[in-house]
Structure 1
């Protein structure tokens, strides 16, 4: 089971590494390399890459999530 997720959202130019075990989120340093750089280039061109994630939703604030809402 994955314990680390790489996240990118529209409007953010970089990617983020969320370590679920440590409870941390860290910006990935640039320049990226390898397959991750290729995926970031596709993302920058408007593509979406989803692998190994079965639920992801971008919301406007943490308060919305804790209230049981998301921008659907």
Structure 2
């Protein structure tokens, strides 16, 4: 299992790296080259890029998630 996930929220431009083992989430400096830049370009064009994650749900708050209330 991978313990690190790159996250971007729909409608936002920022990317974050979540280290699940360390329990941290930090912003990533926007890439200028490489595969992650390709992901940024695709995302800017409206695409969703998913690899190695089988569940991702947007919620309004942690409390909503804990109670099974999901957006949409």
Q: Deviations over 1:20-65 (max 9, x none)?
A: 0000000001244300000111001100101000111011111101
- Return 47-56 or 57-66, whichever deviates more: 57-66
Structure 2 residues without counterparts, runs of 5 or longer: none
Normalising by the residue count of structure 2, what TM-score does the alignment of the two structures yield? 0.90
Which structure would you say has the larger RCO, counting Cα contacts within 8 Å and 6 or more residues apart? 1
Aligned to 1:44: 44
Number of aligned residue pairs: 72
Normalising by the residue count of structure 1, what TM-score does the alignment of the two structures yield? 0.90
Structure 1 residues without counterparts, runs of 5 or longer: none
List 4+ stretches of structure 1 deviating above 3 A. none
- Taking only aligned residues, the RMSD between alpha carbons, in angstroms, comes to 1.2
